[in-house]
Every structure is written in structure tokens, then in C-alpha cells.
Structure 1
Amino acid sequence: MAVVKEFTLPDLGEGLTEAQVVRWLVAVGDVVSVDQPVVEVETAKAMVEVPCPYGGVVTARFGEEGTELPVGAPLLTVAVGEPEPGGKGPDGPDASRGSGNVLVGYGTQAPAARRRRVRPGDRGAAETAGPDGVSGAPASVAVISPLVRRLARERGLDLRRIRGTGPEGLIIRADVEQAAQAAHAAQASHAAAAAVPRGAASPAVRTARTSGRRKTDGLRVPLRGMRGAAAEKLSRSRREIPDATCWVDADATELLTARKAMNVSGGAKVSLLALLARICTAALAKYPELNATVDTEAHEIVRLPGVHLGFAAQTDRGLVVPVVKDAHARNAVELSVEMARLTEAARAGKLSPAELTGGTFTLNNYGVFGVDGSTPIINHPEAAMLGVGRIAPKPWVHEGELAVRHVVQLSFTFDHRVCDGGTAGGFLRYVADCVEQPAVLLRSL
């Protein structure tokens, strides 16, 4: 006798509380095996294929493609055959239990007990000052995601006054954003109405006349998933970090020659980006105050013990920043191999959240786009970023004579709370010296 099992969106880890259904990999009526990927979802960190812990026949799917679901929401139901004595079912292991495997950073263990959701009718009896400082937040505020609570706090919204559209009345991010837009529009309308002379058409009337036309103007692209997360992170960086940028031109001819010599000897090829990464770790060893973050609540600068190097990678789904863990302990070859692996995974949408978080410093090679310079936005909550422009032949004074050399522009954007211009300039000058004279790196090996 078949038993119908419900598979819910699992806890994706790293503070992720929701995901968008991108593509279903199975249809109702399909037979699935234990740990078979059944749906592709996009989180704020990466594209992920979610495996199902049950084997059987798919009887229902929940959520159309493009739908955003919170963790714990039903994904699909599976009709599982009754297990044989000894715990063996049609797929070998007991298909009515979680497999316990961990695939691409996510567990397919049996789903946790359903947490109580805040229903709209419950809020009146459960109102209090929440631990996050949002006045009037529901007492069971823990079931609302930290991201949603933070958005409400930043926009000055009272969670009691927001109607949740998630499962069982749960308040989700879209609810907060819609409430913020409504509040902003109401404030603007009141302000404009107060300034309208007598006899003139009110802003509301003018808006009504043109709203139908504006709704059809242009293509609207939702800021969701990775792109939405990037937009939020970049906006936060601009709001919180007083950044400054300095730059210098460097002669990279000797660095290109050194790389060519390295790769002639055989073995794994060393990429130019890996050499720049190795220069970054050497520079951070010399200027450790730049491998840091700022704890705004404690009013402290936190210097970090290890370098976890992020590097910008452009993909079809947008810009992502994979992180090379413990980059300070890797040589140029090891950095090259790991960066190649992460880049390939990024382009395939297979990076796990752990591979996209925890960075302490970022290397941004915008030269691949054919541009010379840039003033990038710091990857919050880091304190600095090195930017590298294209390497191009240019006239350059070399050993007292004009010559054609391969020149690169290096830019360094830093959090001015962490260091002053002298430290930033010293870091950038050291990087430029290593680019111009790779033998300088030998002192740190």
C-alpha cells in the first residue's frame, strides 16, 4: 500500500530562508528515486538542484516556475511503496525516511517539525517588542526570517500592520517591500497635495491620468534571487561604508614574462589572476589591518586571522563572488586550480552557499571587459577591494628610455574607517612593485 509523503523546501543553510522555483525537473506521474534532483531553485546565493529524499511516484507539485517559496513550504508529494520487512522499500533504503545524504551543501534528511507560523489573526494577542528592536513585532518573531525583520527595521515598518501572504499568513520579503512602497507613495502624495494651489489638479488626479500609460512603458525585471541579493548588498555597502579609492599605473611586462616561464616548465598552468591573487595575499600579510571588517554595533574594527579571497566572476545569471578559503596558505598553482574550479562551478550555477560566503578581501579583474579603470563598490562587510584593469601595450619610460610596455591600471578601494590614505597607498604601491618586479614576491616565500 502506497503512503503519500510530503517533501518541503529544505533549510538551505547560511541564513537563507527562501528560494525561487526556476525549473521543475520532474512532472506529476514521474517515478523518482531517492536523492534524485527534482527542482532547480535560485537562492540569494546560487542556483541549486534540490534532491528529494523519497523514492516513488510524484503525485503533486507546489509552486509554479518563478514562484518564491519560504523554507518549509511544500515542494511536492511522493507516493511511496510500503517498505518490506527489514526496512527495504522499492528503492532499497526505506523510501519513507530521509536518505541523510548531503548533496551540494544541502541535506535531504527527514524534514524538521513544522514551526508555527504567525497568522494575521494571532498578531493582536502576540504583540510585544521583539529582540531585534522592532517595536510592536510579534512575540513569535523568530519564525519570520531575519532578512524580513531587518528590511522592516530599516524601512521603519511595524510588522503588526503588514499582512502576510506566505503560507499560513507568514510575512515574507515581498510583503515588506510592498508595504514600504505603499508608505513611500502615501508620504509623497500627502506632501505634494499640501503644495497644490487651489483650483489646480492634485497629484493623485495627475497620477490617475497617466498610471495606465506608465504601467506599459518599458520592460520590468524583478530584483530577485542572486541579482536581488547583490542589489541589496551593494546598496548597503554604499549606505554604511565611507569608501575611498586610489590608483596607480604599473608596468606588467615582467609579470607576463614570469608567468610564461612558469608555464613552460610543465604541470598545472598558472593563470594571471592566480598570480595577482598571490600578490594580494602577500600584500595583506604586510598590511594585515586591511584584512578586516567593522563591527558597527560594538564600534570595533575586527582584524581577521586568515585571508579568504573573493574574486568577481561574471555569469549568465549575474555577477557572483566565489571565495577561495585560506588563500594565504596556497601557492600560485594551488590558487590557480581552485579559482578555475570555482569559476566553472559559478558559470554552471553549481556553487554552494559556503563557496559564496565568508570572504575577507576581494580581487576584481574588470580588465576582462576591456576597460582600464574602475571605482568598484566594496563587497560588504569587507574593508577593501583591489581592482585590475586590462593589460595593454602603451608607451612607457623604461630604464630612462621610451619603450612600448604592457601597462595595467590598479585601483584600490578601501573603508576609510579601517585605515588612512598612508596605509592604503602603501598596500597599493607594494602590489604595483610586485607586478613590476615579481622577484619582490620572493621575499615573502
Structure 2
Amino acid sequence: MAIQKSTPAVDGVHAFKLPDVGEGLIEAELLTWYVKPGDEVKDGQMICEIETAKAVVELPCPYSGTVKELFAAEGETVEVGTVIITVDDGTGGSGGGTAEADTGAETEEREKPLVGYGEKAASTQRRPRRRPAATAPTPAAPAPRPASAPTPEPAAPAAPVRSEGRPLAKPPVRKLAKDLGIDLATVSPTGKDGIITRDDVHAAAEAVRAPEVVPEAAPAVETPVETDRSAREQRIPIKGVRKHTAAAMVNSAFTAPHVTEFLQVDVTRTMKAVARLRERPDFADVKVSPLLLVAKALLMAIRRHPGINSSWDEENQEIVVKNYVNLGIAAATERGLVVPNIKDAESQTLPELAASLKRLTETARAGKTGPADMSGGTITITNVGVFGVDAGTPIINPGEAAILAFGQIRDMPWVHKGELKIRKVTTLSLSFDHRLVDGELGSKVLRDIGTALEDPELTALAWG
């Protein structure tokens, strides 16, 4: 990955700004630093690992020298164009080599926008509202008191008055009191300036829970009081891959009119074919699974019905039929759902397709899928069967026309050759964009996939 060296050095100190490693991304989370201040680095050396909205990638340093300072902590989300590290190449003086000097001087060359990320307009900030200075009223001069008048007693200090009669408390404390069923008007404040604190509310709740004196004939009943629920909740920041996936799914669900069709298929012969393929020498180094034959069946169906492998061009009001298949495989990872795709899958032999599936899944599980591997997909398979699920209504990936869900394979009673037998059965679900695919086309595609799985060897011979 090439990094643009567009920022001039100040006294031999180079400031490296976070580049856009994807397509128009605006931020990334810094996962791990591989270097620390004082370390020697070389041009092209990997210095950190970041997670963008699309993938986890490593960043190479475009300079050689000594690491001077790190400007982002691990776990911090950094905007594209922000300085994350400075490197001293040893050619300059001792002063002025800071990120501020490199990015703030007006005499420097203005940095060019990074690839896929234009200049961002300067954000406007609201000017803080100026509060009028509190001025105490000038006390009136006391009227002269007759010599014979007795000296008045000092007045007792006035009791503090709550603003508009409403107890003083912060919003979280008010919510806590509401959850515990405590009336703030009955709580004695201990905070500064008469503000009710969380401890005050808990103390009031404890007083409520104290047993009351009741007649001997009636047993004491303790009223259950709900405790603070925030202590039993976990909050997970939405960022990185999960944030991108959520935005994409919402966009797809509310843009493309979804239709889902289901088909139960007898895959007994498919399972036998999988067992035979595993024994062949050309499949010795790859994992042969039913997913491989499902992918092959989908590719064969696309060849017979190209319209299922298309996209909607809103700007030009056109349907774009793709004569290539970049087959996406949905993969669940620790960082969320990713959908890398196999480029030109339609041109691969069955052993080559098996090898591609192996590389794709291993890379995804290791969290190393790059942005290029997840762009340009044309149709997707999601294998919900690995989770023990029979079927689902998957959401189409943006820019695609359809997605196929492959359910678990179960032993089920099935009528085979006129007799009731126990067979291997699965459920296929095909969701498609009804703007691009009508019911007839969607049904034909799903039917052909099912036919290919019912007898994969015969289908391969008949369809070529």
C-alpha cells in the first residue's frame, strides 16, 4: 500500500497523517502500535494496525528515521488526515519538529487531499454564551436611628429556597430516583448548594425499605424496590466493521424492495458427492464442504439466468447486468460481519473454487480481510446452517440484486421414489431486489440451485 509523502519536514521531523486506506473513509480505530518513541524505523516498515469501517489493515511508515512521538493511543478513533506519528530523519536541527509546527504553520505547503477523501470544510463552533456578570445591588444607606431607639436584634438567617420549589438534582440522579420510586421532594440534599446526590437517593431508598412497625396480627411485608439497572448493563461502542455493516444494512433494507422465497431440497446426493470429493487427490489441501457445491450450483444458475447477477443504477436509470461473478461469502468474525468476495468466481474450476473459499474464510477469521477483498461484490451466499438455523430472510448487500441463505442439513422424512424415507434435507432462502428481479426470475434461479443440489453430478453433465 503506497502512502503519499505530501507533508514537508520541519527540521528533519516528518509528521505522518492517517491516510484513507479505503474508498472515502473518514476515520479509523487505532488497534495496535508496533513501535514506540525512540525506535528506529525504515521506509515501508509496518508501524501500526488500524480498523476501518471495512477491514483491519496494517499501515507502513513512508519515512526512515527515529520515532519522535505518537499522537494516538491504542483504542482511539482517529479522523483521516490527523497526525498519528512523527519521525526524525536526523537531517534537521533540534527545535520546532512537532506536529503542531508541521501542520499549523501558515507558510507550509498545503497538503493535498488523500485518495478518496476530499478536503473537509472547516467546522463551525458555537461561540460560548457570555453570561452577565452578577452584580450585587448597592445597599441603601441606613436611615439615621434616633438615639433613644433600642438596638434591634439581628435577624435570623433565611432558610435556603429551592429554585421555583423544585428539588435540585442532575438528570441521572432524577432518573435513578424515578427508577427507585423516590420522590425527590422528600430527600434531604447533602451536595454542594443543596444539590441532591446519588447517595442521597440511595439513602432515601434504604429508608423506604426499612421495616415498618405493624400490629402483631399483620405480618410485615417488605416492598421490593428495583435497584440501579446501569450496574447490570454493558455498553459496547458502535464503530469499525460493525458500524459500517449496520449503516449498509439499513440503507439496503429501506432502499431495495426485498422479496424472499424458500425451497426445501433433498441434498442426500450432494452429501455423498462431498464425501467422494474429499478422497480425491486434487482436493487434498482444501476443505470440501456442502457450501462448495452450493456455491457451484449458484454459479451454474447465474450462467443460465444472468439477470440475477445485476445492479440498479439510480443515476442513469439503468439495470447493469454483470458478465462476471464476484461471489461474496458472509463471514462472522470477532469484529462483526464481513462479506469478502471471490473475484471472477465463474471462471474457476471446482478445486480452484475450493481453494478460494479456504483462503477467504481463513483471512476473514484472522481479521485480515482487506478493503479490496470486500468491494465489487455482485451476489452473496450466507451460510446460516453452521449456526443450527434452518432458514432466514437475509438482507441484500448494497449494490447487489440477490443473496442466498443456506440452512442446516437435517435428517428428515422425505418421499423418495414413491416411498417414505429418511433423507438429508436443507432449506434454501433467496432474497432479491424486486426492482431488478421479478418473481419468475427469482423462482427459476432458486429452482435451478435446488435441482443442482439434488443431483450435482447429473446437473454438471447436463449443464456443462
- Length-normalised TM-score, structure 2: 0.68
Within a 5 Å distance, the mapping from 1:313-332 to structure 2 comes to 313-332=331-350
The residue that corresponds to 1:233 in the other structure is 248
Distance 1:25 1:160 in 2: 33
The residue that corresponds to 1:11 in the other structure is 20
Q: Which amino acid aligns with 1:254?
A: R
CA offsets, 1:262-307, max 9 Å, x none? 2222122433222211111111111111111112233322212211
CA apart distance, 1:234 = 0.5
CA offsets, 1:313-338, max 9 Å, x none? 11111111111000111121111101
RMSD: 2.8
Distance 1:419 1:436 in 2: 24
Tell me if structure 2 keeps the 8 A contact 1:46–1:350: yes
**1:352 counterpart (361, 370, 374):** 370
Q: Which amino acid aligns with 2:277?
A: M
Unaligned runs of 5+ residues in structure 2 are: 1-10, 93-108, 127-165, 177-197, 199-227
Distance 1:365 1:13 in 2: 27
CA apart distance, 1:35 = 2.0
Q: Which amino acid aligns with 1:71?
A: V
Within a 5 Å distance, the mapping from 1:216-365 to structure 2 comes to 218-268=233-283, 269=286, 270-365=288-383
SS of the residue corresponding to residue 254 of structure 2 reads helix
CA offsets, 1:53-105, max 9 Å, x none? 2232211001122222222221211122349xxxxxxxxxxxxxxxxxxxxxx
The residue that corresponds to 2:185 in the other structure is none
Within a 5 Å distance, the mapping from 1:167-206 to structure 2 comes to none
The residue that corresponds to 2:60 in the other structure is 51
Q: Which amino acid aligns with 2:438?
A: D
Q: Which amino acid aligns with 1:396?
A: W
Distance 1:363 1:116 in 2: 37
Confirm or deny that 1:41 pairs with 2:50. yes
CA offsets, 1:189-241, max 9 Å, x none? xxxxxxxxxxxx9xxx9888228878767222121110000000001011101
CA offsets, 1:324-374, max 9 Å, x none? 000111121111101111111111121111101110000111101111111
**Cα 1:410/1:232, change in 2 over 3 Å:** same
The residue that corresponds to 2:140 in the other structure is none
CA apart distance, 1:162 = 7.1
The residue that corresponds to 1:114 in the other structure is 111
The more displaced of 346-355 and 360-369 is 346-355
The residue that corresponds to 2:424 in the other structure is 406
CA apart distance, 1:113 = 5.7
Point out the structure with the larger helix share.
1
Distance 1:315 1:142 in 2: 31
**2:39 counterpart (23, 26, 30):** 30
The residue that corresponds to 1:394 in the other structure is 412
CA apart distance, 1:3 = 2.7
The residue that corresponds to 1:67 in the other structure is 76
Distance 1:30 1:82 in 2: 17
Distance 1:73 1:206 in 2: 35
Tell me if structure 2 keeps the 8 A contact 1:366–1:389: yes
Unaligned runs of 5+ residues in structure 1 are: 84-111, 118-140, 146-158, 164-200
Distance 1:405 1:214 in 2: 49
Q: Which amino acid aligns with 1:419?
A: V
The residue that corresponds to 2:120 in the other structure is 144
Distance 2:443 2:360 in 1: 30
Tell me if structure 1 keeps the 8 A contact 2:383–2:405: yes
**Cα 1:116/1:360, change in 2 over 3 Å:** closer
SS of the residue corresponding to residue 402 of structure 1 reads strand
Could you say which structure has the larger radius of gyration? 2
Q: Which amino acid aligns with 1:55?
A: S
**Cα 1:408/1:63, change in 2 over 3 Å:** same
The residue that corresponds to 1:76 in the other structure is 85
Confirm or deny that 1:421 pairs with 2:427. no
**1:210 counterpart (132, 155, 175):** 175
The residue that corresponds to 1:132 in the other structure is none
Tell me if structure 2 keeps the 8 A contact 1:279–1:441: no
Tell me if structure 1 keeps the 8 A contact 2:415–2:421: yes
Tell me if structure 1 keeps the 8 A contact 2:282–2:351: no
The residue that corresponds to 1:444 in the other structure is 463
Distance 1:71 1:250 in 2: 49
